[in-house]
Each structure stands twice: as C-alpha cells, then as structure tokens.
Amino acid sequence: MSLAPSRRKRRLYQRRSFWAAVGLAVLGGSVAVVSTASAGPVDTNTWYTLVNRSTGQSLDALEYATYDGSPLGQWSRTGGTNQQWKFIDSGDGNYRLQNRNSGKVLDDYGWSKTEGSGLVQWRDLNGANQQFHLEKSSDGYVRLINRFSHMAVEVPGGSKTDGAHLAQYHDWNGPQQQWQLVPVGGGNTGGSGSTATPTKPAGSAPASQAPSTRPASTPPAPPTTGGGSSAKTLMGSTTMLIGGAMSDASANAAPFDVRYNYVHSRPAPSSDYYTAARCQDAWSGWWGCWTGSTTAPGTFITYKDANATKMTYQGKSRPQKQLWTWYSLRDLGDAAGQGDGPGEVQAINRTDLLTRYLNDYRFFLQKIGTSHDMIDLEPDFWGYVRSLGNPHQVAAQVKAANPTDCGSQENSATGLAQCMIAMGHKYAPNTGIGLHLSCFDWQQNTPQCVKDYADLGAKNADFLVTDVTDRDAGWYALPAHGSKNTYWNDQKGFAALAFYKTMTESVGKPVVLWQVPLGNMAQSNTPDHYKDDKVDWFFSHLSQAADAHVGGILFGAGWQEQTTPETDGGNLINKTIAYRNAGGTPLK
C-alpha cells in the first residue's frame, strides 16, 4: 500500500537553548508588560564594556575569535579588547556593535526570528540583522533590540558561567536582558576598568580555524563504571540497541534493533475522527490519516508496527522495535496562535486545546496497543518548561483536560509529564516511555538539569532520550551555514558522556541517543553527502558509552540535504554488522 512520506521534524534545527524564554510569561496565564521607552543616544566615539545585570559578566567575543560566525558569550570582566564594543550609527536610532579585537559586529545569525537562536559576530554588512536599538530598563540599564527580529540580546537563563553563549528572545525586560554600558576605563560592576589586553587564553584557535564552542578547558576523563547504576536491560535487550531512521532496504541490510518515525500534527478537531471507518481527504493533515482516505484512522501506526515485526536479515526473520517521536505540542502551539515555544506553554494551560491533545495521544497509544514499541515524548518542550522555572509551577490544565486518566495529577507541567507517562503504561502496556532530555545548557548548568528532571518525575519514565546535534558537521562548516565547528573529538565526546552519566544515575534510567548525524569523513561535503565524525566516534567508544548508561544509539538526518543511511557509502550498515558480529556491547 502507498504510505505518506515520513514526516521530518519541522522545528528550527539551529538548536534552541534550553533556556528559551518562551514569548509571553505564561505562569498562571499572566502576561509580562515590557517598557518600550527608548534609551538616549550613545557616544559613537567611545568603547564600552557591556555588563549583564543578572550575571555581572561582560559581553565577550569568546576565545578572541575573529572569524565570521564565531559565537558570542559572556565572561568575567578582564578589560580585554574582545570585551570592548563601539556603537556605529545606522540611522533611525539603530546601531551596529563593533568588537574592538575582531572588528566584526554583533549579528542575529541567519536572519533568524526564532526564540533562542544564537548571536554571533560577522563582518559589518550593515544589515538589519546587525542593527540594534536601545530600550530603557531601570537604574540606567538598557536592552539591545534587534531591528530585524525585534528580539533582545540575552544571557539564557541568567547563567553565571564563563563562556555561556548569548541568544535572542522576545523582549520581556528580564534582568538577563539588561546591560550596563561602562565606558572603557570607567565604572566597576564586577571588574576592573583597565583597558590592558590580557594574554590570549590558552588553547584558543587561530583566526583561520573555528574552535570548539566550549570554553578552553582540560579535557574531561571518560566516565567510569560505578555509582548508582541504571537499568542493565532496555526493552528486553542486554546489549546496546542500534538503529535509526531509514528505508526498509537499509533496515534489512544489517541487524538493526530499532527504527524511528515522527508523529506530529495538530490534534483531531473531533472525536469522530477516531471512530470513523475510513479517513477523508480533508483529514490528510492529521497524523492519523497520513496514509490516505482508503485507510482507517491510525493506520500509519499499525502499519509501521507490523512492518517492524517483518524485518529480516540475511534471509532470516529479525524483528525490530519501533520508536515513535511524539512531537505534537509544537503543532498545538500553532493552534494557540503563538507557534513554537510560547504557544506550547500557553496551549497546555488551555483546557480546550489540552483536551484535544490528550485525546489524540490516547488514540495514538491505543493504536500501538500491545506492540513492544518505544516513545520519545516531546523533544524541546521540557526545555521550554525549564525556562519558566520550577516545572511544578508551570500551569497546565491537566485535570480538566483528561479527568479519566489524569484526575489525580497536579495542574502543572510536571502533572502533564506524569499523566503522559501513566497513560503510556496504561494504554500501551508493552511500550517503553522515554522523556526527552532537553538540557541545552548542560555544559553550564547540569545540577539544575538534574533538579528539573527530578521535579518532572523522570524516574517514572522507562528511559530518557536526547539528541547530540542535528545536522552533519560538514554542512554546518560551510560559510553559508555559519562556518560552525560541530565536529567531535574526545574532549567533546567524553564531556557529553559524563553529562549522560550524571543524568541517568540521577533518575535511575538509561538514555537513548537519537537523531545522531550520519556523515563520515569519506563524504564529499555536497548535499546528502556531508562529512561528520559521530558515527565513527561512537562505534569506537561503545564501552565508554555503556559506562554512561547509554542504552541505544539511533542515527538519522535532522534536516534536508543531510547524509542518510542510504547515502553514507554503507558506513552505518557495515559498522552495525561488525558490532553485532562482535556480540554487542553489554548495558551497564
């Protein structure tokens, strides 16, 4: 039968910071009122240090980088030229902010209007995405508002960590969006006013080479076995699961364990959709009718489940598990009229929308039934929740939306998480429920992530799911995509494994790595054939991954043009065959 194309994730893949400050302040449904009084003009002949009100740290061109697209962050006051900025008049009350060390200007990377998108430095093109006007806050502080996106420059979450990257968010006048302009040689607010340039940090890369986005530091040691071990089996397997998003031909070409697909759309507008004998053409936008009007609602789920059980390898039956990435709060945010992030947290506090959402989720689970599937619950959303503070205090109309299944849960994001986990165990009793780990500030704030996931009740899920990065490093490295360095090395890899280990041991459950890029260094850096090193790195560090309680690694393209199992030259297939021939890596 003909099936609708596999749905790919529609979120912005230029990774949002976990601290995405979600549009409107929706705690308890209140809306923040922001002062829009314009600040007075600045002296365009003066160099300033910009000191953040929340953190006391300075706007910094990290590692003295001078290349286009290098990330901007904060650092303790040093008086260095990479912390000195001049305002260049662009007219109409707008300015470009030029860095004294690099000569480049503050830039809304990629002309983004997305909450949480990164801010970088770029050569001065005088584009609207490089122009900022100043809005007054109290006590002489100002916000920097981008002319193109209308968003404010922010230290996400008010992190006080050296090297925390800057991003843009809607103008909510929070203290992490407020900056004091200190003329070089004057003022204090956390540091010396000296203009002396300190020694360049150890480990800084030359300007022609994009450095790691991590601040220079001693590489962490690989995580070791010990401590509070999480489960030593996952979905009945005692060895690490390998799989991904791929065609049937690829799935049959190696002894893969798991396939994954997205499930996302706005929920059905009426319960009539769930009981209809056949879909209608007008319903094709709803995930339950992706298979067309000749099929019953929900056939996409039942067909994929049945197909997974029919997989073979070398002519012999080798059933695979189906992992579903349930990603529908993104679409519910659209229904709330606010879109990604702001709409999502507003939608869960609307009984009408949350009722439809949970009805849809129940129907999805009923279609899974007794299949031995896996579910990845809502990538990114829990990060939006975390940005608002304690998940117990983020309002959600859980009881009214689903009194049958969730009447005993609290009306909060925590209650929603617990309701969805409990519903999964009730309606799909053989299915493992994974709570997505959205801690994009983990390098600066792992302890807070531990606390937040404890508050969300992650211990009641069956596993965690998280993503490493979303697109091939060769794609990111192109000038058109920011010349970013997302290649891995042992320092980056072991740091990530140490984070996974901390989180898995904090909740007592393993983690599944999901949507890992498929590129390899034999590729040509052309569409569908971009270079990356993560497949090779993980397969050469499976023992260390197991020590971090990684229960599975699922590979897949997170966006169009990326390398896939069908275009990677057989790399993933060959490595998976060798992995299984060697007996697999035991879980720890």
Res 403: pLDDT: 97
The mean per-residue pLDDT over the stretch 379-408 comes to 95
* CA pair distance 459, 228, nearest whole angstrom: 13
Mean pLDDT across the chain: 85
The mean per-residue pLDDT over the stretch 235-247 comes to 96
The conformational region for residue 22 under phi > 0 = left, psi -120 to 50 = alpha, else beta, is beta
Report whether pLDDT(456) > 50.
yes
Highest mean pLDDT: which of 37-46, 221-230, 463-472? 463-472
Report whether pLDDT(440) > 90.
no
Q: Residue holding tokens 């959709």?
A: 273
Crossing angle, helix 413-427 and helix 351-368, to 10 degrees? Answer: 30
- The larger pLDDT score, comparing residue 210 to residue 573, is at 573
The mean per-residue pLDDT over the stretch 100-114 comes to 91
Reported as a pLDDT band with limits 50, 70 and 90, residue 133 is very high
Report whether pLDDT(567) > 60.
yes
Res 178: pLDDT: 96
Q: Architecture of domain 241-581 in CATH? A: Alpha-Beta Barrel (3.20)
CB–CB of 383/439 below 8 Å? Answer: yes
Residue 393 CB partners (closer than 8 Å, separation 6+): 27, 412
Q: Residue holding tokens 């490493």?
A: 468
Res 90: pLDDT: 94
Res 1: pLDDT: 33
Q: Can you tell me whether residue 561 is helix, strand or coil?
A: coil
Res 420: pLDDT: 98
CB–CB of 95/88 below 8 Å? Answer: yes
Residue of 487, 457, 454 whose CA lies nearest to 469:
487
Crossing angle, helix 442-456 and helix 490-507, to 10 degrees? Answer: 20
* CA pair distance 166, 380, nearest whole angstrom: 18
* CA pair distance 287, 270, nearest whole angstrom: 14
pLDDT (tens digit per residue) in 173-204? 999 999 999 999 754 433 333 333 333 332 22
Report whether pLDDT(482) > 60.
yes
Res 13: pLDDT: 29
Q: How many CB atoms lie within 10 A of CB 276?
A: 16
Is the four-CA dihedral 477, 478, 479, 481 of positive or negative sign? negative
Res 158: pLDDT: 86
* CA pair distance 296, 279, nearest whole angstrom: 6
* CA pair distance 513, 467, nearest whole angstrom: 6
Res 207: pLDDT: 27
> What pairs with residue 51 in β-bridges?
58, 180
Report whether pLDDT(330) > 80.
yes
pLDDT (tens digit per residue) in 285-308? 999 999 999 999 999 999 999 999
CB–CB of 304/287 below 8 Å? Answer: no
Q: Residue holding tokens 């004998």?
A: 277
Q: Residue holding tokens 């070409």?
A: 253
The mean per-residue pLDDT over the stretch 18-27 comes to 28
Highest mean pLDDT: which of 2-6, 24-28, 218-222, 390-394? 390-394
- The larger pLDDT score, comparing residue 201 to residue 459, is at 459
Res 37: pLDDT: 64
The mean per-residue pLDDT over the stretch 389-411 comes to 96
* CA pair distance 20, 172, nearest whole angstrom: 12
Res 7: pLDDT: 30
- The larger pLDDT score, comparing residue 466 to residue 71, is at 466
Taking the C-alpha atoms of 111, 117, 123 and 127 in order, what is their torsion angle to the nearest 10 degrees?
30
The pTM assigned to this predicted structure is: 0.64
Q: Angle 319-324-326 (CA atoms, 0-180°, nearest 5)?
A: 170
pLDDT (tens digit per residue) in 533-545? 999 999 999 999 9
Q: Can you tell me whether residue 200 is helix, strand or coil?
A: coil
C-alpha to C-alpha distances, 573 to 76, 127, 244, 372, nearest whole angstrom:
47, 45, 11, 24
* CA pair distance 102, 59, nearest whole angstrom: 14
Q: Residue holding tokens 């230290």?
A: 155
* CA pair distance 153, 178, nearest whole angstrom: 8
Report whether pLDDT(4) > 90.
no
CB–CB of 324/375 below 8 Å? Answer: yes
C-alpha to C-alpha distances, 357 to 132, 336, 344, 460, nearest whole angstrom:
39, 12, 11, 21
Q: How many CB atoms lie within 10 A of CB 182?
A: 21
Segments making up each domain of the chain, as ranges:
37-183, 241-581
C-alpha to C-alpha distances, 233 to 113, 150, 327, 462, 515, nearest whole angstrom:
43, 49, 26, 11, 21
Q: Architecture of domain 37-183 in CATH? A: Trefoil (2.80)
- Report residue 250 as tokens: 């690829």
Q: How many CB atoms lie within 10 A of CB 509?
A: 23
Distance of CA 337 to the CA centre of its chain: 22
Report whether pLDDT(474) > 50.
yes
Residue 581 CB partners (closer than 8 Å, separation 6+): none
The mean per-residue pLDDT over the stretch 139-151 comes to 94
- Extended beta strands in 361-415, E state: 374-377
Reported as a pLDDT band with limits 50, 70 and 90, residue 69 is confident
Long-range contacts of 519-524 (CB under 8 A, 24+ apart): 519/472, 519/473, 519/474, 519/475, 519/562, 519/563, 519/568, 520/563, 520/568, 520/569, 520/571, 522/569, 522/571, 523/472, 523/474, 523/563, 523/568, 523/569
Report whether pLDDT(34) > 60.
no
Q: Residue holding tokens 């009718």?
A: 289
The mean per-residue pLDDT over the stretch 462-481 comes to 95
Q: Angle 444-449-452 (CA atoms, 0-180°, nearest 5)?
A: 145
Report whether pLDDT(8) > 50.
no
Q: In the chain, what percentage of residues exceed pLDDT 70? A: 86
- Report residue 79 as tokens: 């008086």
Res 376: pLDDT: 98
- The larger pLDDT score, comparing residue 412 to residue 10, is at 412
- Report residue 548 as tokens: 């971090």
- The larger pLDDT score, comparing residue 116 to residue 32, is at 116
Res 32: pLDDT: 33
Is the four-CA dihedral 501, 381, 21, 17 of positive or negative sign? positive
Report whether pLDDT(147) > 50.
yes
- Residue at 162: amino acid letter: D
Reported as a pLDDT band with limits 50, 70 and 90, residue 566 is very high
Residue 44 CB partners (closer than 8 Å, separation 6+): 86, 87, 88, 89, 95
**What is the 8-class DSSP label of residue 490?**
H
**532 φ, ψ (degrees, to nearest 5):** -165, 175
Percent helix, strand, coil in the chain (nearest 5)?
30, 20, 50
Q: How many CB atoms lie within 10 A of CB 385?
A: 29
Report whether pLDDT(3) > 50.
no
* CA pair distance 126, 556, nearest whole angstrom: 38
C-alpha to C-alpha distances, 524 to 88, 529, 564, 568, nearest whole angstrom:
41, 6, 14, 10
